[in-house]
Structure 1
Amino acid sequence: MFYTCHLCGYPEQNKPPWTQEGLSPSYEICPCCGIEFGVDDINLLGFEIYKREWFEKGRDWFDQAKRPVNWEQEEQLKSINKIKHEELPFYLLDAK
């Protein structure tokens, strides 16, 4: 089973970025946007700053070795809306 990054929509995370309670991060790093769950997104302000900076820098792929050959960035970003409620950090639970 794979999980989705709540910042960039990368759909192949091996672990949920946050536990089902939204209180405990995995500390995994997303190979697409590079966010470290529980560090860069420990609160809403950190999440928004990281997201803004990633977008401003052109949304470059963080780990080029893991970038899919036929990657469609806009399609991937659409998958953010499909993230299961229980996979979100606590501060985004009310926003969903």
Structure 2
Amino acid sequence: MEHICLVCNYQDLYEAPYDHRGVPSDEICPCCGFQYGFDDDGFCNNEDSYRKWRDDWVENGCIWFSEGRKSPVNWNPAAQLSK
């Protein structure tokens, strides 16, 4: 089962961003660096936090976040965002 980042559309998170009760996973997306349960804390609407994070990530060049988990071969952030 794919677990997809709600910010950058990365398709291979280890866990779903939220469980069936809406509890965040606390996972950090290796692609964009968004941490569920932390970076969305305090937002009335999580969509606002996703949009802001995505806009900042794109503006800064869509740089792969994780040093320990390498980007997929032929990783293309523009194609990933368009899925």
TM-score by length of 2: 0.78
Question: 4+ residue stretches of structure 1 with deviation over 3 A?
Answer: none
- Tell me what 1:24 maps to: 23
1:33: how far off?
0.3
TM-score (structure 1 length as normaliser): 0.69
Which residues of 2 match residues 5-84 of structure 1 at below 5 A? 5-21=5-21, 23-42=22-41, 43=43, 44=46, 45-64=48-67, 65-79=69-83
> RMSD over aligned Cα, in angstroms?
1.7
Identity of paired residues, percent? 37
Q: Does the 8 Å CA contact 2:18/2:24 hold for their aligned counterparts?
A: yes
Q: Give the direction of change, closer, same or farther, for the CA distance of 1:71–1:51 in structure 2 (3 Å limit).
A: same
Return the letter of the residue paired with 2:71: R
In the TM superposition, residue 2 of structure 1 has moved relative to its aligned partner by: 2.3
In the alignment, residue 5 of structure 2 is paired with which amino acid? Answer: C
| Greater per-residue helix proportion | 1
Aligned residues: 78
